[in-house]
Amino acid sequence: MPGTSVSATAHEEFLPAAAATTVVVSQALVRVLTVSRGGVIQSQADGHYSTSSSTITFSDPFSGTERVVVAYQTGTSGTGTLIDTDLRTYVQRIMQILDPSGPPPPTP
């Protein structure tokens, strides 16, 4: 909505070492939008991970081959309308892979 406070967003990918349980994003986490581990969306409410400042701690250690993808808000960056085109493109690509016969994504 124009004129409302918006937050900057970030998208980062990691390949944690075997037995590691944390990833550290480059900026402080204001709100986590999505956390994916090995292609599976993780739930903070279900205890899959916890956060503190810029660190995400997972309840189970990594195998060394699992990719982690994190999308998050980093802080207030002004006013206006925010469209995270990188995140939108990523989600659309994943949805096309998961359901290639599904409806086309809406235009921005």
CB 27 within 8 A of CB 12: no
Walk across the sheet containing 22-24 and list its strands. Answer: 22-24, 55-58, 49-52
pLDDT tens track, the chain, 108 positions: 444 455 678 889 999 999 999 999 998 888 899 999 999 999 999 999 999 989 999 999 999 999 999 999 887 555 544 455 666 677 777 777 777 776 666 655
Question: Taking Cα atoms as reference points, which of 42, 1, 4 lies closest to residue 21?
Answer: 42
